[in-house]
Amino acid sequence: MRYARVVFMVIAACFGITLVNYASSPYKENRVSLPNVARSQTKEMKPMTVVQTVTQPKMNNPPTAKRTSEGHNRPLFILLMSSSGRTGSTLMAKLLRTHGGSVVFFEPLFRTITMLNDPCHLNGTCVAQFLKDVALCKYTKDFEEWFKKWTVFFEVFHPEVSYCMQYTDDLEKCKKIDVRGRCLNSRVRIIKVIRSRMAWVEDLLKDDTLNMKLIYLTRDPRATLSSYNQLGWGNSAPTQCGDMKKDLDTYDRFERLYPKKVFRTQIETLSVDPYGTIRNLFGFLFGTPVVEDETVEFVNKHMRAKSTVYGGLKIEANSTEEYQSWRWEITQEILNASESNAVCQVILKRLGHVVFGSLKRARDRNVKLLDYEKN
């Protein structure tokens, strides 16, 4: 036994795998940590082969391990926020759910618009209390009934629901799954929200009874506006960038006041460097930068696909290309409206995105979207 352990440690050292002791962590799992490889190195490094992983082109593969079913005394509440739709928040929510023992409440504030015409989603105090009730699994019976009817939202809730809806035509059978029970037994409760201002959730950050962390996901406002235009949804540069500025300003204040509870990332960064972004994100959320088999499989299918496939909330794409495909779809009118808007200019600078100045330059692949790509 001792000889086998020595052999394993030698093999692990060859692959750069670090054995981690999780005895003191509330997230006890039999996993291994990601190799600490700089972004600049990953582009030049040949893909390595590790048992139970799939080789990725031009990227260092993360080693993975099986997860256990060991639970937590105090569940983690993750509030995933974006300033609008079409930002990649669905992809992020599904990615977060790959961490074992998680459930996802997808756009719960949408109910106040579709079912009750309730102005709660416009009232900060009401929004904060509503989200807290969902996080604590204390939502009303009416909410759960609505949630199950919106199958496109319900499907994301739990792997058991996803499996049921994928492999059976009997939706009523899927709706019999105990939602509140799955919620109460979950280690991680994720709520995805695009219909709230950042300032409205401060009371949740202040609440010591909640083990809460906030993720703020951004996307280039030009991309969002272009996507809205293609779908025929109403939005404008002043509104889009105005909302983003409010939320970014609030986030900056949150970062000073609650540095251990908030994290900001961009869908562009996740697309270009998924494993580096996941390492940072999971380190913030779970205390250690590790990844499981399910997360790797998700990245392979949804972010490293050979071709792009859209269908409802399901997306399979090569994210290194897809994240800036809007550049070849945006109209001259939307590009001019966004880049000439003073607030949008401020947002683009804060995000580190290039201002193209013309449609021709936006279409030029030699012009990089992200500042760090220039290096």
Structure confidence by residue, pLDDT tens digits, 286-317: 998 888 899 999 999 889 877 666 555 556 77
Exposure string of 96-105, with b = 16+ CB inside 10 Å and e = fewer, is bbbbbbbbbb
Q: Distance from CA of residue 329 to its chain's centroid?
A: 24
Q: Which residues contact 272 (CB under 8 A, 6 or more apart)?
A: 319, 320, 323, 370, 373
Are 372 and 268 in contact by the 8 Å Cβ rule? The answer is: no
> What does the alpha-carbon distance between residue 284 and residue 92 come to, in Å, rounded to a whole number?
15
Structure tokens at 130: 């509503």
> What does the alpha-carbon distance between residue 91 and residue 317 come to, in Å, rounded to a whole number?
11
Q: Which of 69-83, 172-186, 230-244 has the lowest mean pLDDT?
A: 69-83
pLDDT at 7: 38
pLDDT at 116: 60
Q: What is the mean pLDDT of the chain?
A: 81
For residue 45, is pLDDT > 70? no
Task: Identify which of 124-128, 139-143, 147-151, 344-348 has the greatest average pLDDT.
Answer: 344-348
Structure tokens at 86: 């079409």
pLDDT at 56: 35
- 15-25 confidence digits (pLDDT tens): 343 333 333 33
Instruction: Round to the nearest angstrom and report the end-to-end CA distance of the chain.
Output: 49
Q: What count of other Cβ atoms lies within 10 Å of the Cβ of residue 31?
A: 21
Give the bridge partners for 216, in sequence order.
81, 264
Are 175 and 164 in contact by the 8 Å Cβ rule? The answer is: no
Q: In the structure, what pLDDT confidence band is assigned to residue 55 with cuts at 50, 70 and 90?
A: very low
The residue ranking higher by pLDDT, 3 or 143, is 143
Question: At residue 295, what is the residue type?
Answer: T
Task: Identify which of 148-152, 280-284, 298-302 has the greatest average pLDDT.
Answer: 280-284
Are 95 and 291 in contact by the 8 Å Cβ rule? The answer is: no
pLDDT at 308: 63
Using DSSP, state whether 280 is helix, strand or coil.
helix
The residue ranking higher by pLDDT, 3 or 354, is 354
